Structure 1
Amino acid sequence: MSADDVVVAIPAAEDRDAIAGDLADLTVEADGIRAVLAADGGRIASIVAHGRELLARTPWADEPADGWRMTSSNAEWHRRYPGGWHLLAPAAGDPSPEAAVEQPFHGEAAWRTWRLRRIDAGTAVAEVRLRTAPLRIVRTLHVVAGTLSVTTRIVNEGSDEQRIVWVEHPALDGALFDDAELELDGSVLPVVAAPGSAFADHAAADGALTLRSRSGGIDLRMLWDADLLPRLCLWQERRGSTGFPWWGQVDAVGVEPASDAYGTATLGSGSVRIAAGAEQESRMLWEIRPRG
């Protein structure tokens, strides 16, 4: 079963031509689930379900922005990384010197300030127009009846086909994995105990991941379009890195559906093709239930 097999009514969300909205964070909630959408990076900054925070948050997440930046975008990303759930596009990973247009680490979309607007109590929209590619991105966050969905539409406003990398990058609170089982497409994945760290890139043919967290009292099932995002990157940083940038203080597990194997970073080499004037849409669905 994929995210498209589950019917969730999403209110009409956006004008298909104009970008409008505010920069202040928005909160949406329904039926015991509350989520915060942030303009910074267009990320989901928080998802609280049945009283439990699901997303990782670094100790410096609330530090004010400063004018100084590290020369490497990789280093700067990690220096200021707040946690939460980003979209990585039109590239991911380290920038490539072969790219026709320079990209920062993890792609322009995750670095930009997005415009936000509320549709109703359970629905909000984030939108941005990229400058390194002729792409407009609209993300609709919707919460209802024990589910949270993120629907993303990427529109090619240029005159040529665009080939991009697309990665959903939610980082979960590592404490959820203290006593948990993680299953991808029916196979159990190894979970790193804290302190420790690991990274793996898995095939994800069915687009279904289940977390059974006894420590968090939550069962979480993630569904996505595996035709578009056939890989899953599993990043586990469970206070295992004592040097820069984590200093042994970050406990996060990234479960990241991806269009391409990790390392496909060059803009123009990704597997997602969007014809001139066309658009690509996809939805990621979280089914969240309290245990017991």
Structure 2
Amino acid sequence: MRYSPSRTWRRGSRRTGSGSPTSPGGRRGTADLTGAEGAGRSGPRGGHRVRRTRSDRAEPVVHLALVGLPRAVASPLTTGNSHVDWHARYRGGWQVLCPNAGDERQAYGTVWGFHGEAALVAWRVLAASPSAIILETELTTAPLRLQREITVSGQTLRVAERLTNLAPVPLQVHWVHHPAFGHPLIDRGTRLATGATRLLADQTIPGSMLDAGAAYDWPVEPVATLPGCEEPRSAFACLTGFTDRAWYTITNPRLDLSVRVTWPARTWPHAWLWQQLHGSTAYPWFGRGHACAIEPASTPRHRDDRQARPGPRHRHRTVRDARG
């Protein structure tokens, strides 16, 4: 399966893109993510969960879920700790992280919790058909509206997204997509490839294989080759140095199974790389997490924000945070 979130931009408030063609041979499909963004005047709870996608052989191809976690409960934890509460609701899938991604922070006289609220609030269904759905939500800790149009055509999954600032003042926000892949795609010998040229290890939680704050030329072994379940490990870093059309692939050669993701680097110039392969024995994983995510991101981990400018022209520009 080829998974190809693909996003190209046009001028104006709505920017969309087209998908990559399906490659012949093997079990490959495309999941085409088309980004549509606007900022101006303006999943279901826990994010959109794709449990499994099927190829034309009608066999399970890829799970966007985590292994070993309990099922979601009717009344998730509410502890006042946003890191604990977000993970209490997390069961894998594909979330959008906004207005914050990463650790909780103070912003505009309030607190933006861990990974923001977009993946936690309810989304309204505006329209639906057997192959498409349009969803919308408005946030409470930031005056933002998010709209997602999800369509399936053959082996292609496409997500078009628009972010709108409803306030008359500009806002600096994080905007990150968080698709996490699991078994059987993520297994011994699975390979990662990408158009990025650099890998920047996280300064505080780089995991078990990278030095904190270190910069590497891509590809980096063994980050690019995944182990089996009997070899616990974790990693957190940022891929950067993409060209106009950013991309990555995750390939399991044993299964002849691959996923391809593409998006416009103008909007998401980075991609967070997260591997949690039974490496953490603390909350929330307790040695049970089995997931790999490469996450198109507007910010390289707390340093850049996307500025949502007000006004009827729905324009955006990227700015550097004062901390940068």
TM-score by length of 1: 0.76
In the alignment, the residues of structure 2 paired with residue 140 and residue 61 of structure 1 have an alpha-carbon distance, to the nearest angstrom, of 29
Instruction: Give 2:125's match in structure 1, choosing from 116, 123, 127.
Output: 116
Indicate yes or no: 2:41 matched with 1:40: no
In the alignment, the residues of structure 2 paired with residue 280 and residue 146 of structure 1 have an alpha-carbon distance, to the nearest angstrom, of 33
Contact 1:259–1:272 under 8 Å retained in 2? no
In the alignment, the residues of structure 1 paired with residue 289 and residue 315 of structure 2 have an alpha-carbon distance, to the nearest angstrom, of 34
In the alignment, the residues of structure 2 paired with residue 74 and residue 65 of structure 1 have an alpha-carbon distance, to the nearest angstrom, of 19
CA shift, 1:253, in A, is 0.6
The secondary structure found in structure 2 opposite 1:260 is: coil
Q: 1:17 maps to what in 2?
A: none
Contact 2:49–2:93 under 8 Å retained in 1? yes
Aligned AA for 1:55? L
Residues 277 and 136 of structure 1: CA distance in aligned 2, closer, same or farther (over 3 Å): farther
CA shift, 1:72, in A, is 1.2
Q: 1:139 maps to what in 2?
A: 148
In the alignment, the residues of structure 2 paired with residue 223 and residue 67 of structure 1 have an alpha-carbon distance, to the nearest angstrom, of 34
Aligned AA for 1:7? S
Residues 86 and 202 of structure 1: CA distance in aligned 2, closer, same or farther (over 3 Å): same
Q: 2:38 maps to what in 1?
A: none
Q: 2:306 maps to what in 1?
A: 271
Contact 1:61–1:80 under 8 Å retained in 2? no
Contact 1:126–1:140 under 8 Å retained in 2? yes
Instruction: Give 1:96's match in structure 2, choosing from 105, 117, 141.
Output: 105
- 1:97-119 per-position Cα deviation (integer Å, ceiling 9, x unaligned): 35522111101211211112543
Contact 1:154–1:280 under 8 Å retained in 2? no
- 1:235-256 per-position Cα deviation (integer Å, ceiling 9, x unaligned): 0001111222101111001110
Contact 1:165–1:271 under 8 Å retained in 2? yes
Contact 1:42–1:113 under 8 Å retained in 2? no
Aligned AA for 2:235? A
Provide the identity percentage.
29
In the alignment, the residues of structure 1 paired with residue 277 and residue 180 of structure 2 have an alpha-carbon distance, to the nearest angstrom, of 11
- 1:113-156 per-position Cα deviation (integer Å, ceiling 9, x unaligned): 11125432211122101112221110111111321111100122
**Structure 1, unpaired ranges of 5+:** 9-30, 282-292
Instruction: Give 2:18's match in structure 1, choosing from 2, 7, 10.
Output: 7
The secondary structure found in structure 2 opposite 1:75 is: helix
More strand by share: 1
Contact 2:125–2:133 under 8 Å retained in 1? yes
The secondary structure found in structure 2 opposite 1:3 is: coil
Indicate yes or no: 2:220 matched with 1:210: no
In the alignment, the residues of structure 2 paired with residue 210 and residue 169 of structure 1 have an alpha-carbon distance, to the nearest angstrom, of 15
Q: 1:15 maps to what in 2?
A: none
Q: 2:275 maps to what in 1?
A: 236
In the alignment, the residues of structure 1 paired with residue 238 and residue 178 of structure 2 have an alpha-carbon distance, to the nearest angstrom, of 13
Aligned AA for 2:54? A
Instruction: Give 2:237's match in structure 1, choosing from 193, 200, 205.
Output: 200
Indicate yes or no: 2:134 matched with 1:125: yes
In the alignment, the residues of structure 2 paired with residue 237 and residue 197 of structure 1 have an alpha-carbon distance, to the nearest angstrom, of 5
Residues 32 and 210 of structure 1: CA distance in aligned 2, closer, same or farther (over 3 Å): closer
In the alignment, the residues of structure 2 paired with residue 116 and residue 58 of structure 1 have an alpha-carbon distance, to the nearest angstrom, of 29
CA shift, 1:84, in A, is 0.5
CA shift, 1:71, in A, is 2.8
- Bigger CA drift: 161-170 or 189-198? 189-198
Residues 155 and 97 of structure 1: CA distance in aligned 2, closer, same or farther (over 3 Å): closer
TM-score by length of 2: 0.69
CA shift, 1:199, in A, is 1.0
In the alignment, the residues of structure 1 paired with residue 254 and residue 182 of structure 2 have an alpha-carbon distance, to the nearest angstrom, of 11
CA shift, 1:204, in A, is 4.4
Aligned AA for 1:49? R
